[in-house]
Every structure is written in structure tokens, then in C-alpha cells.
């Protein structure tokens, strides 16, 4: 790299270190257009959000220098980027499990409570009564509207009535219900 390219490279590195990845990546790509230094390939592979482009840069580095000391670290970083994040269950208080006798943070799950199922059953029965009630042809449309109204109320009510369940973080058994 000549002195001008080296200064641009250092400036782009400073931008990347300060979190301005897109601007740094633009500068690295511009440098790569007229310079084939391996450090530029490393910089592009670490700053690009595109996993395909990162893989291409890693493969180019592997072709140029198969035993480069930082290649394994770059592979690990690339694998971590591809894996992505996942949402874990919320963690509750630390409880003593009566089954495994471990004191661990409990996971919190939510499910439809018994009251929610009773609510749904009652409104489903009302729905069936309105649907099967003998009526005249003129009154039929109003009865159908009322029937589906009660079905909707039953489903919405059932889905809104939840209870929290604590699950042992060690053995996975249900510890207690919280109301």
C-alpha cells in the first residue's frame, strides 16, 4: 500500500472501531478497487453485514495465504455472524426446585389458564345455541351475526386470560403457578 492508501485504510479502521461500519466498508471497497492487499480483504470481511460477501473475502484470503494466522479467528467470527440471535425465555426469580433440589433461576412460560378455557367453553355453547336456534328466514342473518359475535368474544377472552408458570432451569419440571 502506498502512503495515501495507508492513510485512507487507517481512517477507515478508525471509523469501523467507532461503530461507523457502513462508511468504513465503503472506504475499504474503494481501496480494494485499486489495491489487492490482504489486510483490505480482512477489513471487508469483518465490516460487511452481508454473509455472502464475507465468505467471498475469506475464500480469497484462503487462496492467497492458506495458513494466515488470523484466518481461523475470521472463520469463527463469520460463523457467529451467520448463526444470528434467538430470543430466550424470560428468566424469573431464583427458586429451589422440589424435584432436583437445585437453586437456579426459573424460566417463565405463559399458557391459557383454566378460567380462559371455561370462558371459551361458555361462549362457545352460546354460539352453538344461537347457531342452531330455530328462526324465521328474516331473522336468520341477525342470529348468525350474534352467534359469530359470541364465538369471537369467547376466542378473544380465552386468549387474553393467561397464567405464568415457573419452570426449573436445571431439570425443566414445573415448579409453581403464579396468579
For residue range 146-164, what is the model confidence (pLDDT) as tens digits?
888 888 888 888 888 888 8
For residue range 39-60, what is the model confidence (pLDDT) as tens digits?
888 899 888 888 888 899 999 9
Do both 101 and 174 map to the same domain?
A: yes
Do both 65 and 106 map to the same domain?
A: no
Domain's final residue, options 83, 102, 122: 83
Do both 69 and 123 map to the same domain?
A: no
pTM for the full model? 0.46
Do both 134 and 165 map to the same domain?
A: yes
pLDDT band at 179 (very low <50, low <70, confident <90, very high): very low
Do both 65 and 105 map to the same domain?
A: no
Domain's final residue, options 83, 99, 114: 83
Domain coverage including residue 172:
91-178
**Grid coordinates standing for 129?**
345455541
For residue range 69-87, what is the model confidence (pLDDT) as tens digits?
888 888 888 888 877 656 6
Q: Into how many domains does the chain fold?
A: 2
**Which stretch of 21-25, 66-70, 84-88 has the lowest confidence by average pLDDT?**
84-88
Q: Measured between alpha carbons, how far is 133 from 174 in angstroms, rounded to an integer?
A: 44
Which residues, 6 or more positions from 165, have their beta carbon under 8 angstroms from its beta carbon? 108, 109, 110, 111, 174, 176, 177, 178
Do both 68 and 101 map to the same domain?
A: no
Do both 60 and 98 map to the same domain?
A: no
Amino acid at each position: 500500500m502506498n502512503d495515501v492508501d495507508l492513510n485512507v485504510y487507517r481512517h477507515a479502521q478508525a471509523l469501523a472501531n467507532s461503530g461507523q461500519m457502513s462508511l468504513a466498508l465503503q472506504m475499504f471497497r474503494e481501496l480494494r478497487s485499486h489495491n489487492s492487499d490482504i489486510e483490505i480483504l480482512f477489513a471487508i470481511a469483518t465490516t460487511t453485514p452481508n454473509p455472502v460477501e464475507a465468505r467471498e473475502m475469506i475464500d480469497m484470503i484462503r487462496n492467497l495465504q492458506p495458513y494466515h494466522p488470523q484466518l481461523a479467528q475470521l472463520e469463527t467470527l463469520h460463523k457467529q455472524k451467520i448463526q444470528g440471535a434467538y430470543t430466550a425465555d424470560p428468566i424469573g426469580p431464583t427458586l429451589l426446585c422440589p424435584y432436583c433440589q437445585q437453586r437456579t433461576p426459573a424460566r417463565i412460560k405463559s399458557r391459557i389458564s383454566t378460567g380462559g378455557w371455561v370462558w371459551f367453553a361458555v361462549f362457545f355453547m352460546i354460539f352453538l345455541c344461537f347457531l342452531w336456534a330455530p328462526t324465521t328466514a328474516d331473522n336468520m342473518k341477525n342470529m348468525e351475526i350474534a352467534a359469530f359475535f359470541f364465538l369471537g368474544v369467547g376466542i378473544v377472552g380465552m386468549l387474553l386470560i393467561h397464567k405464568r408458570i415457573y419452570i426449573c432451569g436445571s431439570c425443566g419440571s414445573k415448579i409453581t403457578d403464579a396468579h
